[in-house]
Amino acid sequence: MNKRTVAELKKTAVAVKPVIVGTDQKVTITPPNFKIVSIRVKGDAPYLSNAMSSEARAKMKAGQEEGTRARRMKRNRDPKDFNAAFKGSLHVSREGWQGITCSSFRNAMIDACRTIDMPMTRARLFIFVLADGYNKDDGTPLVRIYGEPVPDERIGKLSSGTSDILVRGRYDEWHCDLRIKYDADSLNATDIMNLLARAGIHCGVGAGRPNSKNSAGIGMGTFEVINK
């Protein structure tokens, strides 16, 4: 660009003035209006807990640190501690009580939107399950479960395709008191209760639930809404 062109541009340039927003300008975005509703859910089928224990994570990490060649050389298989596998499958809070991940119920409610005329993308922004505490190992938010677990042994498929005896905690009778935070400008408490009821029927929580990503479920993890 030569000097003549620069000079011409300076003559023809129009000064841009900053836009000042006045106090009388219309506001179209309202502040968040979230409310919390408490709802009790009761299992109408056993809940099957499927947490990954800290021991299992440690073995997985050690295997990845060793690398492929080192794993091939290690052919001996350690004896399986079924009692440790049972305890490791439970979600235990920092205070010592057992729970179900908040995401289990939230995901079930979001997935249940498939059964009604509500986009799942909107449900992700409108619905949140509040935590009663956090997992002692990894800090995952938990809702407290009321019930006594028993060991559940059954044949299952691992990700490698091989069969194995899976030992997990099964709660035959259980309930949870949920606190659900929702956008009150888009939903009301009855909407939340009805959506949760649909989630209990169509989706469920835990391993073996009807809406499992790996199978059609084994009849586990369904629940109903109970008015306290």
Contact 140, 49 (CB under 8 A): no
DSSP-derived 3-state class of residue 191: helix
Per-residue model confidence (pLDDT) at position 68? 59
DSSP track, 9-66: HHHH--PPPPPPPPTTSPP-PPPP-EEEEEEEEEESS-EE--PPPHHHHHHHHHHHHH
225 vs 75, higher pLDDT: 225
Q: Is 87 part of a structural domain of the chain?
A: yes
Per-residue model confidence (pLDDT) at position 156? 75
Q: Is 67 part of a structural domain of the chain?
A: yes
Q: Is 46 part of a structural domain of the chain?
A: yes
Residue 49 has pLDDT above 70, yes or no: yes
How does pLDDT run across 184-213, given as a tens digit for each residue? Answer: 999 999 999 999 999 999 999 999 999 988
How does pLDDT run across 73-87, given as a tens digit for each residue? Answer: 555 667 778 799 999
Q: Is 109 part of a structural domain of the chain?
A: yes
Closest CA to 127 of 209, 211, 186: 186
C-alpha gyration radius of the chain: 26
**Which segment, 16-20, 29-33, 78-82, 159-163, is predicted with the most confidence on average?**
29-33
Strand-by-strand arrangement of the 91-92 sheet: 91-92, 98-101, 141-144, 133-134
Q: Which domain holds residue 41?
A: 33-226
For residue 195, the Cα-to-chain-centroid distance in whole angstroms is 16
In total, how many domains does the chain have?
A: 1
For residue 40, the Cα-to-chain-centroid distance in whole angstroms is 18
Residue type, 198: R
Residue 34: pLDDT band (50, 70, 90) is very high
Average pLDDT over residues 45-51: 95
Contact 215, 56 (CB under 8 A): no
Q: Is 209 part of a structural domain of the chain?
A: yes
Q: Is 94 part of a structural domain of the chain?
A: yes
Q: Is 99 part of a structural domain of the chain?
A: yes
Q: Is 84 part of a structural domain of the chain?
A: yes
